[in-house]
Chain A
Amino acid sequence: MQEKKENNAQNKFARERYAALVKRMTPKSAFGQGCFRAFWVGGLICVLGQALADGAHAWLGLSSAASLTFASVALIFLTAFLTGIGVFDRIARYAGAGTLVPTTGFANAMVAPAMEFKPEGWIMGTGVRLFSIAGPVLVYGISASAAVGILYYFIRW
């Protein structure tokens, strides 16, 4: 019993020491560069979104709320197209969170598995896997909004 305890302690010590060694010897992603790339690409996508919204407002006569929705839909369409022709993942490899955080990341997370799992069939492949990465976004987003709605019904802040 005592021996086992000692063994466990030794084991834990060895693991901690090894974790420290791994940390020291594993190269790190360039932090400043990553943030810079995410910033300018992400910012630019939002500017594009604003331009699309302004365009929809001016030429399609949409209300300002509807034109922002239009901008999201248009960005999703653009992402789907760029994903389809195999360009989006190259941009994302450069931009990281710059393409992940805008609505483009959500769209790519739906489109990429839909394409990838085509060989497994339209139902069990594309149909099921479409939500394999972005599904949790809907699950937790919708649940959180329902919780907020219920809370609002009772409290009305």
Chain B
Amino acid sequence: MTVYLKAFFVGGLFCVVGEALILKTKLTPARILVSYVVAGVLLSAAGLYGPLVRFAGAGATVPLTGFGHALAQGAIAAVQETGLLGAFTGGVSASSGAIAAAVFFGLITALLFRAKPKDT
């Protein structure tokens, strides 16, 4: 049960920081997304994000920093296996699930649904 509490608090905290950034700095959503992914890559490379994932599970992998973590760890692991080439293959392979899912479900959704105006 504690794993769920940890996921809730850590994940919620990531979101609060994002909301504070939006409200205080007027960063656009696209900039927030990019900052989170790049921050995830850097924190992961510095060895700080791995322990957080072990602590909070999905609370650390579901926020976009987790996507950055997957990219960085993938790149590092692949470099250990295949050398320099791994820097280019590792990141995307490790995060391919999320990328392919977003592209595929995006296309399918566009096929099945039409954008509807709200409250017009």
CB within 8 Å of B: which A101-150 residues: 101-103, 105-107, 109-112, 114-116, 118, 126, 130, 133-134, 136-138, 140-142, 144-150
**Interface code B70-100, partner A: CB below 8 Å = 1, 0 otherwise?**
1110111011000110111011100101110
Contact call B4/A51, Cβ cutoff below 8 A: yes
CB pair B4–A47 under 8 Å, yes or no, is: yes
Which residues B36-95 have CB closer than 8 A to chain A? 36-38, 40-42, 44-45, 47, 53, 56-59, 61-64, 66-68, 70-72, 74-76, 78-79, 83-84, 86-88, 90-92, 95
Count of residues in B whose CB is under 8 Å from the partner chain: 81
A45 touches B62 (CB 8 A): yes
Q: For this complex, into which size category does the number of interface residues on chain A fall?
A: 35 or more
Majority secondary structure of chain B interface residues (helix, strand, loop or mixed): helix
Q: Could you say which of B75, B87, B102 has the most chain A C-beta atoms within 10 Å of its C-beta? A: B102
Besides the known contacts A50-B59, A101-B18, 6 further A-B residue pairs in the complex with CB atoms under 8 A apart: A38-B19, A72-B62, A102-B14, A141-B38, A141-B71, A144-B71
Task: Give 17 pairs: A residue, B residue, CB < 8 Å, sorted on A.
Answer: A28-B23, A34-B23, A53-B57, A71-B61, A72-B67, A77-B105, A80-B108, A96-B18, A102-B15, A110-B103, A118-B114, A137-B37, A141-B41, A145-B92, A148-B45, A149-B86, A149-B87
